[in-house]
Every structure is written in C-alpha cells, then in structure tokens.
Structure 1
Amino acid sequence: MNKEGLLAYFPKLSPRRYRDMIAVFGSAESFWNSSFAQTKQVPWPADVVAEFMAWKKTVDEAAIELRLQNSGVACLPQSDPGYPPLLRQIYDPPPALFVRGTLTDARPHLAVVGTRKFSPYGKQIAAELTAALARRGLVIVSGLALGIDSIAHHSALSAGGTTIAVLGSGVDDASIYPSAHRGLAKKIIENGGALVSEYPPGFKPTQYSFPERNRIMGQPPDTGRSQAYYVGG
C-alpha cells in the first residue's frame, strides 16, 4: 500500500504536519523508511514524533488493505492521479481521501450547506433548488447530516441527479454518521455518486471533524467548477 495512504491512518497527522513532513523528506516513502534520528528533523512536537515511531511498529498493512477492499473503499493519496486537482490547490489539502462510489467527471458541482433545524420554507427552497439544478446536470455535494444536507441529497436523487456526500467520519458502513443515513448513503452510491472523507474507515466523528470537512465541500472531488450556497432555518 502507498505510504501516503498508510500515513493517513496516523491519528496525529494533520494536513499541516503532512505538509511539513513533505517539505523535509520530499515523499511519504522516504519519511516512512527513516530512522528515529532522521524523523526528528520534521518540525513536529517531540512527543508526536515518538508516538509516530511507536505507532508505525504496530501498523498491519495487509489488514488495512483487506479492510479497504472488504468495505469497497478506495484510498487516494495526494500523489494519485485521481486526487481532485482543485483540492490540491487549497492551503491544507487532506493527505489522502477515502472514497466509496464513483467520483464524477468535470460537470459543475454545487455544495449545499444548511442548518439541521429548518423551517418549512427553508425545506421547500432547499428541495426545489437542488432538484432543479440536479436536473440541469449539476452534481449536488453536501454532508449527509440531519436537516438541509439530507434534503439536498434526497432531492438530487429524486430528480435523477448525482450527489456526493462529504463525511466527518469514515465512509465504511459502521462509521457513517448519523447511522440513520446509512440507507441514504447506499442510495447515493447506487445512483452514481460517492461518499468521500479524509478520515479512514473506522474513524468516528469528533467535534472538530465536521468543521474540517467543510473545506472539502467547498472544493468537491471533481475536475470542474464548484459553487456553494447556505440554507438557513
């Protein structure tokens, strides 16, 4: 397995730390194969370096690959040709993306962000607008969350369109949050869309993972243009 993909499993690897590591070692492969003394050249806190070296000894590469295969999840590190070009251009691109389903072509994408508690009017606007744009060929991107997010996904599917869900959790069935939307996630994949996350299978969401995933929604996984709109309550 590509060492970039393996590094994405290290719990303390933030986009900034990944960027600092590449600046020193040039590649994830070189960093992975470095000695403890060499690893300390990276401007990480000493305890994080020590934790990484200890963690690396426990990594079961074969087990990780098997879990990805059994879950139908593809790992796209930054060096992979399938990694979204637009996402590479942001300040803190994810070291890798984990994907279930089909990443779409260069069609325009619309990211929909909304409140979990909404008014009837907000629901109507979100449903009508996303359905209309999906019929025109736009790919609807949202976060699979309760509220406006799920309305956007459902409306796109009902209109015969394609939709992508960017998660703050792993994309495997056991990790999908909220669990009530596992059925919706399945429909998204079955209808030509995808589930996308910077977090590996098995990752449970935290208070930080949802705000962090929003930067991916703003530059969705395609090669075309993207726009975003917010639907309040």
Structure 2
Amino acid sequence: MPQPTEAEVLAALESYGAYINDENYRNFQIISKIEAIEPGDQHILAGLDGGSANPDTEWRNTQREEYKAGIMEGLSTLECPTGQWEFPPDLDIVMNHIDSLEGGGIRWLRQMDSFIFWLGWGDLQGPRTQSYHAGQIKTGTEIAKWYEIEDEFDIAGGFKMGSGTKCWSHAFYSRPKNDESQGWFWRYGGGAYASCGEVFENMVEVLDWYKNFGGLGERDIREMINGVF
C-alpha cells in the first residue's frame, strides 16, 4: 500500500484547516454576540481551523518529542512483527504543524462534549507526560474489537489518539488478512455512538473524513455561544 507523500499530507491538512475555518466563521456570523469578544477572550476563538498550535516553538518541540517517546515506550511492550517499531510517518508530518486535531466548533467546548480525533499535547488541561502517552497503547485484539475488523486485518497493536462523548480513535499497525504481500502499515480508525467505526488507510483519508464530521447547525452554534457568554 503506497504511503502518502509529505506534500500530499500537508495539502490535506491545509484543505482540512481551511474548510473548518470557513465553516466556523460562517456559523459564528449568525451570532451577533461573537462581536462582543474582548481581547482577553481570545482563547474562545482558539483553534477555529480545527487544530491548535502553540506559538512557542521550543515548547512545541519538547512536547512533540515527549509524545513520540511515550508512544514508542508503550509500543515496546508489544511484539513488533517487522522487528522494530516505527512511529506513524504521516502522523509525524501532521505533528510538525499542529499540536492536536480537533474538528469544528469552539475548542474548549469540543473537549467537554464532542469528538477530538487526536488529542496530542494541545488540550486545555495542560500537556501530558511521557508516561501518560505510553499508557495509551492498545493491543491488536483490543483495537480489532473496537472496529469489528477481526476478520479483515492482522493487528500488531496501536494507540488511542483522541476522545469524545461515545467517540473513539486509534492508530494501529496492521496488514490485511491472508495477504502478506501488502506488508505492515499504520492505519487509523474513528467511530462514534452505535457504529463500529471506520478504518482509514492514512492521515489524508482521516483529514478528508474528519473535516465533515459532526457539522454544526445554527441551533448548535447558538447553544454553544450562550454557554460561553
């Protein structure tokens, strides 16, 4: 299975961010109260492009390396079918540009009652520790049951990526059953509510799917804004 190039991942990330940004501002224009936001309330507008990125480059670099180190530490407790674990390359590209992948809506409300596909280190409760990230590791059996794909893929293991109200997302190292010629690759899964979720071949597919996930209507926006002001 060919992996997306860096250019393809970045193009998908740019398209995702532009789409979310346009949708959020279009919806927020419905509400006149948005004009009343004071300079000190800019946290309300944080992440309107569906992600977050701390302006402190040194801090971001430290958090990114701690995240990767934690995931690799956790994966080391599982047997790797190819001999040595490697971090998902397309997620690594995304991580160089944003701290989290959060979808539409106001950021702090998304954390309480929505679906954040990839929490990263960007959540408002502060950065997580390396040991916390290591604790997100899941076995292949656990992940296969989440998505009901026991008969479709051999899964060596993976890790939980996000959180939400009856929502889940994972990265997992896998290959199609009975087709060893395809080799092992990182895939991604996301699901919500009563569904068993969807499987994505790479982060390009994730970004294309997630930008349309859980779109907000006028009533949703009014309820969110009324909860803020």
Superposed pair shares fold, TM > 0.5: no
TM-score range normalised by the length of the shorter chain: under 0.3
TM-score with structure 2 setting the length = 0.26
